[in-house]
């Protein structure tokens, strides 16, 4: 168990025609001892490449990887004392569960057969797969295979766990139960873990911290709630959260934001924050939009309900501005309202966009100029 | 010849009479069985089911159930589909299995020289003679050595080539072609080609060995070397085939298995030995079967090597011996007996494979 440091890690692939593709661009992250760090981003953002560089399965173009006090950048995968769980599980099909789990110990340590046997039994006990030890992978269900893959990593008692979308081949129910179980196991073992996923729900629920990656660049590293409430830029704001944050392109005109359909007055404090920009992007989370009967102040706008997606506990309401009703593809935005409230498609409603909850991003760089007002972020932290 | 057909006719009519008697005598209802079941289909199968269940107690019922089972297995359109499979079935049955059967029959006679076959006296004299003959024993041993040596070396060499190619060396497509090309050559060409290569005074093999101070060796003339030389030439020709089979099997193994083994701490050699090679089991079996069958058919190679029935000393195999006995010495019955022995060896090779495939539902 050790601290894992990525220092300006860069990976450049050379294409067949000789052009360079930068997959990972100067990523620096410090992962504390025992921390669960989730690397999240859309497909092709370089998160898997980053993980594979840490595993030693990809060479590093530049930068350093340090594990504890040794630099492992140029070490072979075999020597790194790292265990990895693959998306496809990669169980050896000709070996039983027990042989699959023993393999790593047999190859990487000089433990006796008895010791290996005990370790495997222990890990199998922890994962509830003790009864499956003599079966072959083909005789296991997807969830069981997943546990074996996890067990294969756990028995090694490595310094770092690397997990490459380990839950994405499971069905939704199993995935959410494995999510909690994985967290429990990681907390029990207290092993530094780097977990790659494209699923922001997994990132939010599992990680001690999240690292958001886009186009090979690190966008933000922070606790899940920091990333949610204080996105460093427009990408993070849009990526974290489901349904995504609503964005409106606006022009700054003095102390108000103006677009074709909106005219949003700003308080003096907020106006200061955007003073340096001409054009900004206004971001508002769906749950922060309130649907009211009549405009209470000048932050409320007349809209028409386009579609309602009921989800039981809450409804996603897709709204459009009234003058768009005749358009082919009206520009809609989402509000989340209580599941009990009755809203029907076609109904005119008033959407209130409270200024406290508004995020403002620079339209060119995407950097956050102002994040929502929170009384105290620390109070909403689930754990420290 | 006439007697033979007479005998066959008697045998078949006897058998069919037997069967007819059995069917008629054991179960009087059997004749209207099809009509009954045909009618039953229209008003639901339950009635027939219970009906048949009622007769299970005694022997005729069991026979009938067996017939039903055959019907079930062959399917209802057995007769309708017969124009499609029956011609091929009959041709195959006559020319392949009929010929094998006839060959077995001849091997039981004493047929030799010119003249007609005498089927009146069938015995195993020829087999006794074959098993006692030192020539047959030596040929059987040679066949066995060729079979095993050629197959094993071919598989190992092919696997190593495939692993090297799979590690994405440069130009792997053209390399694959180069290794596979020898297989397209006829045995006649390969034999002539290697005859020159192995030439005592001018052959390139001896020239090369001469560079490192070895030889020259008389590869073809020396009875101790000739079988090895033949195996080497055949390996040269067929390892490409093993390589292609292994390569496709290797490409089917997901990259994650290699990577997982690496992360698990296995060295490259250990990774291949414990994780990859065991997964090539079915590829090994199918490649081995094909290569073994080639080994048993090495007759044309040896025939072309010397341009005659008498292969070099120390390289006589059952196939060459069989042809020599039959066509050079006109010992037809004796040659047939050797052919049956060879056939049994081939069957011993391919039989388990067929059973294995059948069990895996691949056949």
Specify the higher pLDDT residue, B46 or B323.
Answer: B323
**Chain B residue numbers touching A55 (CB-CB < 8 A):** 259, 263
pLDDT the model gives residue B3: 55
Is the pLDDT assigned to residue B38 strictly greater than 60?
A: no
Q: Is A108 in Cβ contact with B264 (below 8 Å)? A: yes
Considering the domain architecture, whether residues A73 and A102 belong to the same structural domain is answered as: yes
Helix axes B255-263, A97-108, angle to 10 degrees: 50
Q: What's the average model confidence in pLDDT over B323-342?
A: 88
- For residue A129, give Cα distances in angstroms to A93, A114, A138, A166, B278: 17, 19, 15, 17, 25
CATH code of the domain containing A362? 2.40.50.140
Q: What's the average model confidence in pLDDT over A284-311?
A: 87
Specify the higher pLDDT residue, B327 or B62.
Answer: B327
**Chain B residue numbers touching A83 (CB-CB < 8 A):** 263-264
Report pLDDT digits (tens) over B112-161: 878 787 788 788 888 888 888 888 888 888 888 888 899 999 999 999 98
CATH code of the domain containing A142? 3.40.50.300
Interface test with A, best of B265, B276, B282 (most A CBs within 10 A): B265
From CA A5, how far away is CA A33, in angstroms rounded?
10
Domain assignment of residue B79, yes or no: no
Is the pLDDT assigned to residue A49 strictly greater than 80?
A: yes
Contact (CB, 8 A) for A3 and A31: yes
Interface test with B, best of A84, A100, A105, A107 (most B CBs within 10 A): A107
CATH code of the domain containing B344? 1.10.3720.10
Residue in B with minimal Cα distance to A91: B257
Q: Is B281 in Cβ contact with A94 (below 8 Å)? A: yes
At CB < 8 Å, which residues of chain A contact B?
55-57, 76-80, 82-84, 86-90, 92-94, 103-104, 107-109, 152, 156, 162
pLDDT the model gives residue B187: 81
**The two structure tokens encoding residue B112:** 């030799």
Number of domains in chain B: 1
- For residue A12, give Cα distances in angstroms to A19, A29, A218, A290: 10, 19, 16, 46
Domain assignment of residue B148, yes or no: yes
**Chain A residue numbers touching B262 (CB-CB < 8 A):** 56-57, 76-78
Considering the domain architecture, whether residues A173 and A279 belong to the same structural domain is answered as: no
Strongest mean pLDDT among A219-233, B54-68, B199-213: A219-233
pLDDT the model gives residue B208: 86
Nearest Cβ partner for A94 among B254, B270, B278: B278
The region of weakest confidence among A91-95, A363-367, B165-169, B354-358 is B165-169
Q: What's the average model confidence in pLDDT over A179-193?
A: 90
**Chain B residue numbers touching A156 (CB-CB < 8 A):** 264
pLDDT the model gives residue B59: 62
| Complete edge-to-edge strand list for the sheet that includes strand A332-338 | A290-292, A348-352, A300-310, A314-321, A332-338
Q: Is B257 on the interface with A (CB under 8 A)?
A: yes
Domain assignment of residue B216, yes or no: yes
The region of weakest confidence among A154-163, A187-196, A325-334 is A325-334
| DSSP label of B328 | I
> What is the residue whose two structure tokens read 């789990």?
A101
* pLDDT confidence tier of residue B314, bands split at 50, 70 and 90: confident
Residue B282 distance to chain A (closest CA, Å)? 12
Is the pLDDT assigned to residue B32 strictly greater than 50?
A: no
> What is the residue whose two structure tokens read 């809450």?
A314
Domain assignment of residue B224, yes or no: yes
Nearest Cβ partner for A88 among B256, B279, B281: B256
Considering the domain architecture, whether residues A101 and A152 belong to the same structural domain is answered as: yes
Domain assignment of residue B194, yes or no: yes
* pLDDT confidence tier of residue A42, bands split at 50, 70 and 90: very high
pLDDT above 70 coverage of chain B, percent: 78
Residue A285 distance to chain B (closest CA, Å)? 39
Interface test with B, best of A81, A103, A109, A150 (most B CBs within 10 A): A103
Phi and psi angles of residue B218, each rounded to the nearest 5 degrees, phi first: -95, 85
pLDDT the model gives residue B354: 84
Q: Is B278 in Cβ contact with A84 (below 8 Å)? A: no
Is the pLDDT assigned to residue A212 strictly greater than 80?
A: yes
Specify the higher pLDDT residue, A230 or B38.
Answer: A230
Considering the domain architecture, whether residues A209 and A289 belong to the same structural domain is answered as: no
DSSP string, A293-336: SS--STTEEEEEEEEEEE-SSEEEEEEEEGGGTTSSS--EEEEE
Domain assignment of residue B50, yes or no: no
Is the pLDDT assigned to residue A238 strictly greater than 90?
A: yes
Is the pLDDT assigned to residue A94 strictly greater than 60?
A: yes
* Residues 269-288 (B) with a CB less than 8 A from some CB of A: 270, 274-275, 278-279, 281
pLDDT the model gives residue B6: 56
Considering the domain architecture, whether residues A224 and A278 belong to the same structural domain is answered as: no
Of A180, A205, A235, the residue that ends a domain is A235
* pLDDT confidence tier of residue A39, bands split at 50, 70 and 90: very high
Is the pLDDT assigned to residue B232 strictly greater than 70?
A: yes
Q: Is A107 in Cβ contact with B264 (below 8 Å)? A: yes
**The two structure tokens encoding residue B221:** 């003339």
Q: Is B279 in Cβ contact with A94 (below 8 Å)? A: yes
Instruction: Sort strands A314-321 and A300-310 into parallel, antiparallel or unpaired.
Output: antiparallel
Is the pLDDT assigned to residue B79 strictly greater than 80?
A: no
Instruction: Sort strands A263-265 and A300-310 into parallel, antiparallel or unpaired.
Output: unpaired
Is the pLDDT assigned to residue B13 strictly greater than 70?
A: no
Domain that includes residue B173, residue range: 135-359
pLDDT the model gives residue A240: 93
Considering the domain architecture, whether residues A271 and A202 belong to the same structural domain is answered as: no
Residue B263 distance to chain A (closest CA, Å)? 5
* pLDDT confidence tier of residue B273, bands split at 50, 70 and 90: very high
Q: What's the average model confidence in pLDDT over B51-76?
A: 60
From CA B298, how far away is CA A85, in angstroms rounded?
50
Residue A86 distance to chain B (closest CA, Å)? 7
**Chain B residue numbers touching A84 (CB-CB < 8 A):** 259-260, 263
* pLDDT confidence tier of residue A52, bands split at 50, 70 and 90: very high
Number of domains in chain A: 2
User: Which positions ≥6 away from A134 have C-beta within 8 Å?
Assistant: A96, A97, A98
pLDDT the model gives residue A119: 92
The region of weakest confidence among A97-101, A313-317, B60-64 is B60-64
Report pLDDT digits (tens) over B85-114: 889 999 999 999 999 999 999 888 888 878
Specify the higher pLDDT residue, A265 or B298.
Answer: A265
Q: Is B260 in Cβ contact with A92 (below 8 Å)? A: yes
**Chain A residue numbers touching B281 (CB-CB < 8 A):** 94
Residue B257 distance to chain A (closest CA, Å)? 5
Considering the domain architecture, whether residues A306 and A366 belong to the same structural domain is answered as: yes
Length of chain B, please?
A: 363
What is the biggest distance separating any 2 CA atoms in chain B, rounded to whole angstroms? 91
Considering the domain architecture, whether residues A183 and A254 belong to the same structural domain is answered as: no
> What is the residue whose two structure tokens read 């598989």?
B155
Q: Is B260 in Cβ contact with A86 (below 8 Å)? A: yes
Instruction: Supply the mean pLDDT for chain A.
Output: 88
Is the pLDDT assigned to residue A336 strictly greater than 60?
A: yes
From CA A339, how far away is CA B200, in angstroms rounded?
95
> Exposed (0-12), middle (13-18) or buried (19+): which is B72, by Cβ within 10 Å?
exposed
pLDDT the model gives residue A224: 93
Specify the higher pLDDT residue, A150 or B223.
Answer: A150
Q: What's the average model confidence in pLDDT over B23-34?
A: 42
* pLDDT confidence tier of residue A10, bands split at 50, 70 and 90: very high
Q: What's the average model confidence in pLDDT over A296-318?
A: 88
User: Which positions ≥6 away from A45 have C-beta within 8 Å?
Assistant: A213, A214, A215, A216
The region of weakest confidence among A33-37, A90-94, B67-71 is B67-71
Contact (CB, 8 A) for B136 and B143: no
Is the pLDDT assigned to residue A316 strictly greater than 50?
A: yes
Is the pLDDT assigned to residue A101 strictly greater than 60?
A: yes
Nearest Cβ partner for B260 among A76, A90, A109: A90
Closest of A193, A218, A157 to residue A25, by C-alpha: A218
Phi and psi angles of residue A82, each rounded to the nearest 5 degrees, phi first: -130, 140
**The two structure tokens encoding residue B63:** 């026979």
Nearest Cβ partner for A78 among B262, B278, B281: B262
Of A235, A265, A299, the residue that ends a domain is A235
Residue in B with minimal Cα distance to A55: B263
Domain that includes residue A100, residue range: 4-235
The region of weakest confidence among B75-79, B302-306, B349-353 is B75-79
Considering the domain architecture, whether residues A136 and A181 belong to the same structural domain is answered as: yes
Residue A85 distance to chain B (closest CA, Å)? 8
Q: Is A107 in Cβ contact with B266 (below 8 Å)? A: yes
pLDDT the model gives residue A27: 92
Of A206, A235, A264, the residue that ends a domain is A235
| DSSP label of B280 | G
pLDDT above 70 coverage of chain A, percent: 95
pLDDT the model gives residue B31: 41
**Chain A residue numbers touching B257 (CB-CB < 8 A):** 90, 92
Considering the domain architecture, whether residues A272 and A376 belong to the same structural domain is answered as: yes
**Chain B residue numbers touching A109 (CB-CB < 8 A):** 265
Considering the domain architecture, whether residues A99 and A116 belong to the same structural domain is answered as: yes
| DSSP label of A53 | H
Helix (H/G/I), strand (E/B), else coil: B307: coil
| DSSP label of B24 | H
| Complete edge-to-edge strand list for the sheet that includes strand A192-197 | A82-85, A160-164, A192-197, A36-40, A209-214, A217-222
**Chain B residue numbers touching A80 (CB-CB < 8 A):** 263
User: H helices of chain B, where?
Assistant: 2-26, 33-42, 46-54, 59-74, 82-92, 99-107, 125-132, 134-166, 172-180, 187-197, 204-211, 223-251, 255-263, 268-271, 281-296, 299-306, 318-323, 332-359
From CA B28, how far away is CA B339, in angstroms rounded?
47
Considering the domain architecture, whether residues A214 and A255 belong to the same structural domain is answered as: no
Residue B216: is the preceding peptide bond cis (ω within 30°)?
yes
Nearest Cβ partner for B263 among A83, A88, A93: A83
**Chain B residue numbers touching A90 (CB-CB < 8 A):** 254, 256-257, 259-260
């Amino acid at each position: 168990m050790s601290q894992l440091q990525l220092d300006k890690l860069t990976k450049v692939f050379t294409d067949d025609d000789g052009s360079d593709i930068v997959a990972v661009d100067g990523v620096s992250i410090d992962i504390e001892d025992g921390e669960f760090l989730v690397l999240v981003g859309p497909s092709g953002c370089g998160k898997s490449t980053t993980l594979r560089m840490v595993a030693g399965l990809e060479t590093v173009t530049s930068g350093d990887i340090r594990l504890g006090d040794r630099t492992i950048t140029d070490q072979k995968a075999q020597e790194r004392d790292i265990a990895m769980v693959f998306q496809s599980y990669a169980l050896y099909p000709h070996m039983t569960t027990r042989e699959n789990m023993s393999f790593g110990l047999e190859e990487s340590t000089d433990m006796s057969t008895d010791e290996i046997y005990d370790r495997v039994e222990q890990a199998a006990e922890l994962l509830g797969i003790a009864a499956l030890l003599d079966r072959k992978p083909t005789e296991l269900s997807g969830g069981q295979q997943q546990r074996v893959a996890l067990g294969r990593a756990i028995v090694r008692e490595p310094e770092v766990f690397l997990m490459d979308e380990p839950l994405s081949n499971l069905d939704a129910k199993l995935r959410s139960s494995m999510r909690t179980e994985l967290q429990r196991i990681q907390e029990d073992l207290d092993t530094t873990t780097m977990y790659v996923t494209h699923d922001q729900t997994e990132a939010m629920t599992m990680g001690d911290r999240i690292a958001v990656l886009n186009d090979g660049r690190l966008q933000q590293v922070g606790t899940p709630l920091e990333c949610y409430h204080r996105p460093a830029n427009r990408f993070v704001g849009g990526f974290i959260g489901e349904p995504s944050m609503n964005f409106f392109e606006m022009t700054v005109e003095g102390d108000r934001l103006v677009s074709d359909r909106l005219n949003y007055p700003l308080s003096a404090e907020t106006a200061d924050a955007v003073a340096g920009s001409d054009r900004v992007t206004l971001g508002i989370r769906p749950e922060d939009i309130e649907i009211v009967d009549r405009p209470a102040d000048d932050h409320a706008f007349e809209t028409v309900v386009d579609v309602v997606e009921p989800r039981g506990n809450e409804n996603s309401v897709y709204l459009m501005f009234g003058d768009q009703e005749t358009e082919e593809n009206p520009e809609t935005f989402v509000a989340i309202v209580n599941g009990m409230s009755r809203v029907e498609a076609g109904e005119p409603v008033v959407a209130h966009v409270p200024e406290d909850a508004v995020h403002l991003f620079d339209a060119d760089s995407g950097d956050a100029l102002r994040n929502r007002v929170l009384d105290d972020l620390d109070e909403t932290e689930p754990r420290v | 010849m006439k007697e033979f057909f007479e005998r066959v006719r008697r045998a078949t009519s006897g058998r069919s009479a037997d069967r007819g008697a059995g069917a008629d005598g054991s179960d009087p209802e059997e004749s209207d069985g099809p009509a009954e079941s045909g009618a039953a289909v229209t008003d639901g199968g339950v009635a027939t089911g219970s009906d048949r269940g009622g007769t299970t107690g005694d022997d005729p019922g069991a026979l009938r159930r067996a017939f039903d089972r055959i019907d079930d297995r062959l399917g209802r359109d057995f007769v309708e589909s017969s124009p499609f499979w029956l011609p091929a079935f009959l041709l195959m049955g006559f020319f392949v299995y009929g010929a094998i059967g006839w060959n077995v029959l001849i091997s039981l006679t004493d047929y030799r020289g010119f003249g007609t076959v005498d089927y009146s006296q069938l015995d195993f004299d020829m087999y006794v003679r074959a098993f006692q003959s030192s020539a047959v024993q030596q040929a059987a041993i040679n066949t066995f050595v060729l079979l095993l040596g050629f197959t094993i070396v071919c598989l190992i060499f092919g696997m190593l080539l495939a692993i090297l190619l799979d590690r994405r060396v440069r130009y792997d497509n053209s390399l694959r072609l180069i290794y596979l090309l020898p297989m397209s050559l006829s045995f006649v060409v390969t034999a002539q080609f290697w005859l020159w290569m192995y030439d005592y005074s001018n052959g390139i093999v001896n020239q090369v060995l001469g560079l490192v101070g070895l030889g020259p060796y008389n590869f073809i003339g020396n009875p101790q070397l000739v079988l090895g030389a033949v195996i080497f030439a055949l390996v040269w020709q067929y390892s490409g085939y093993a390589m292609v089979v292994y390569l496709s099997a290797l490409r089917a193994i997901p990259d994650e298995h290699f990577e997982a083994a690496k992360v698990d701490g296995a060295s490259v050699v250990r990774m291949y030995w414990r994780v990859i090679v065991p997964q090539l089991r079915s590829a090994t079996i199918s490649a081995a079967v094909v290569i073994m069958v080639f080994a048993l058919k090495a007759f044309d190679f040896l025939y072309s090597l010397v341009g005659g029935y008498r292969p070099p000393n120390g390289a006589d195999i059952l196939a060459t011996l069989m042809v020599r006995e039959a066509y050079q010495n006109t010992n037809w019955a004796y040659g047939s007996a050797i052919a049956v022995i060879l056939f049994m060896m081939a069957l011993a090779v391919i039989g388990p494979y067929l059973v294995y495939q059948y069990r895996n539902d691949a056949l």
